[in-house]
Structure 1
Amino acid sequence: MIQVTFTGNAGQDPETKTFNNGGSITQVNVGIGQGYKDRASGQWIDKGTAWVTVKANTSQTKETLQHVHKGTHLLVTGSLTVRTYQKQDGTQGTALDVNATAIAIIPRKQQQMQQPQQPMQQPVQQPQQQNTWASMPTGTDPWSQGSFNQEPEF
């Protein structure tokens, strides 16, 4: 299984398909801009758009997609699958699908600008913590302390 995280824009409003057994899946095509900023010129070099079908089958991801419309900027995490299909002209095509485990809407800058400005608050001073590893003798591995035999929690 290939886990991916990416940002992109919804290509259309999401669609929900309901199956005979009562289950449903909501999906949306997300366009991912492929390109880079040229260091020498500072110009954006466009390499086209990759389209991914994002499938939401959990209540949390389906709930998020209810607020998505064409053009919504999304952050998606999930498992990537590649499938082949036969196009109408008889040739074989390849599609990228992501079974989403998390979907978040990324606010646009202009949307953020329309919100009323909150007065700035003074940051709370946090007590400085001592770096315990900085005071260790040379040659001591700060990561060797404790039990790291357990699987990390995700």
Structure 2
Amino acid sequence: MAKGFNKVILMGNLTRDVEVRTTASGQSVANFSLAISRSWRGQDGQQQDQTSFINCVAWGKVGDIIAQYVHKGSPLLVSGRLDQRSYQDKDGNKRSAVEVVVEDFNFVGSGRSDNSSPSAPSSNQSTNSKSQDVVIEDIDDKPIDLSEIPF
């Protein structure tokens, strides 16, 4: 039997602040949901939009870092695997859930909601001072001699 492949890559915005809990064994777990939108043109030529809400879980340090730096509305890129689990609700009914177990992530955008940058020059500084220090060399188009590469 062939070995399966389970890899998910999603980019979306957090629908709520990250919820972090600690298990009885001391392991932290972060839960959040991503809103992922897509657009397409229907057969009638009209723009169609759809948003999917995907539950995500991140264990340990990965979850702690995500909870520390993102909040509701923040864009986030995650990769991981799909996991299906079963549980009983408060009424004793059997339920199942499919979620993404986050293994890796990347912050997307500046992470600042006020659109300011910490490295932006203040109004009393010249915005051209650094660009004057840059020297751009003209590179000719002759082929690279592989014998000149030291490795």
SS at match of 2:70: coil
Amino acid at match of 1:38: R
Matches within 5 A, 1:1-154: 1-33=5-37, 35-38=38-41, 44-47=47-50, 49-83=51-85, 95-107=97-109, 113-115=115-117, 116=120, 121=131, 130=143
Amino acid at match of 2:18: P
Amino acid at match of 2:14: A
Answer yes or no: is the 8 Å Cα contact 1:12–1:28 preserved in 2: yes
The equivalent residue for 2:149 is none
Structure 1 residues 12 and 43, CA gap change in structure 2 (3 angstroms)? same
Task: Provide structure 2 residue ranges, at least 5 long, that are not aligned to the other structure.
Answer: 122-126, 146-151
- Residue by residue over 1:46-85, the C-alpha shift from the partner in whole angstroms, topping out at 9 and shown as x without a partner, is 12x2222221113144213311111111101111123456
Structure 1 residues 88 and 22, CA gap change in structure 2 (3 angstroms)? closer
Taking structure 2 as the reference length, the TM-score comes to 0.62
Percent identity, aligned pairs only, is: 24
Structure 1 residues 51 and 40, CA gap change in structure 2 (3 angstroms)? closer
Answer yes or no: is the 8 Å Cα contact 1:37–1:45 preserved in 2: yes
How many positions carry a matched residue from both structures?
Answer: 130
Answer yes or no: is the 8 Å Cα contact 1:27–1:55 preserved in 2: yes
Taking structure 1 as the reference length, the TM-score comes to 0.61
Answer yes or no: is the 8 Å Cα contact 1:81–1:98 preserved in 2: yes
The equivalent residue for 1:150 is none
Output the aligned Cα RMSD.
3.8
Query: How many Å apart are 1:114 and its aligned residue?
Result: 2.5
Answer yes or no: is the 8 Å Cα contact 1:73–1:108 preserved in 2: no
In 1, Cα distance between equivalents of 2:53 and 2:89: 16
SS at match of 1:65: helix
The equivalent residue for 1:151 is none
Task: Provide structure 1 residue ranges, at least 5 long, that are not aligned to the other structure.
Answer: 133-154
Answer yes or no: is the 8 Å Cα contact 2:28–2:64 preserved in 1: no
